[in-house]
Amino acid sequence: MEKPERTPKTIGEALDLTDNIQRRVFKDWRDKVGEVQNVVRGLQENAKNRGDAAEESRMEMNWRKLLEIYPGLDEATRSWTKTKEELEARKAYTDLQNKIIEGWPRSAVSDRLLYLGSGFIGGGGIAYAVLGPEAKVVYVVFWVVGIVALLWSLWGLAKYDRERGAYFSELLNRVR
């Protein structure tokens, strides 16, 4: 009775399943070539004992061909394992970078100024709607304060992004 195939739920599970299958297939091929090599060597010895030089020569040629294949499969098995380890190391490095980026402190003042500036601009609009055109000083003050807060917030956020970009660029250069 065959085992039902496991259906991967994520990309990581699919890669792990593929890796396990691929490594097992390479190893199986390598081992089967090794088994056939032993059988051919045995047939060559039998031909030698019987004095059949043509058969012995043919088995020697087959054995040499298998000898050429075996190291290639062995190298493929090792390369696949090395590639998997390298991918795991790169994934760990990427996870570390993402944690550092997530841990970078937010620019709280600039974030709050963005909301505050928007609120003042909206407040100026409400003041204009409620008080009418006669209260120009009130809504103009709201709008000026709102625009200044927004501009200051945008300047702070731009500075924040520049500093963050410079930090990670320098960090990347140190790691390479």
Question: Within a domain: residue 46?
Answer: yes
Q: What is the span of the domain harbouring residue 94?
A: 11-103
- How far is residue 13 CA from its own chain's centroid? 14
146: left (phi over 0), alpha (psi -120 to 50) or beta: alpha
Interval 130-148: pLDDT, tens:
888 888 898 889 999 999 9
Could you tell me what percent of the chain has a pLDDT over 70? 83
- CA–CA dist 137, 145 (Å, integer): 12
Give me the phi and psi of 98, to 5 degrees please: -65, -40
Give the chain's domain count: 2
Same domain for 48 and 22, yes or no, is: yes
Same domain for 99 and 165, yes or no, is: no
Out of 103, 127, 154, a domain closes at 103
User: Given this model, what pLDDT does residue 146 score?
Assistant: 93
Question: Within a domain: residue 5?
Answer: no
Residues 6+ apart with CB under 8 A from 124: 138, 139, 140, 141, 142, 143, 146
Out of 56, 78, 103, a domain closes at 103
What's the whole-number average pLDDT of the chain?
A: 80
> What CA–CA distances, in Å, run from 101 to 37, 55, 98, 167?
55, 69, 5, 10
Same domain for 15 and 97, yes or no, is: yes
Same domain for 113 and 86, yes or no, is: no
Same domain for 53 and 82, yes or no, is: yes
User: Given this model, what pLDDT does residue 101 score?
Assistant: 72
Indicate if the pLDDT at residue 3 is higher than 70: no
Out of 76, 103, 130, a domain closes at 103
Same domain for 96 and 136, yes or no, is: no
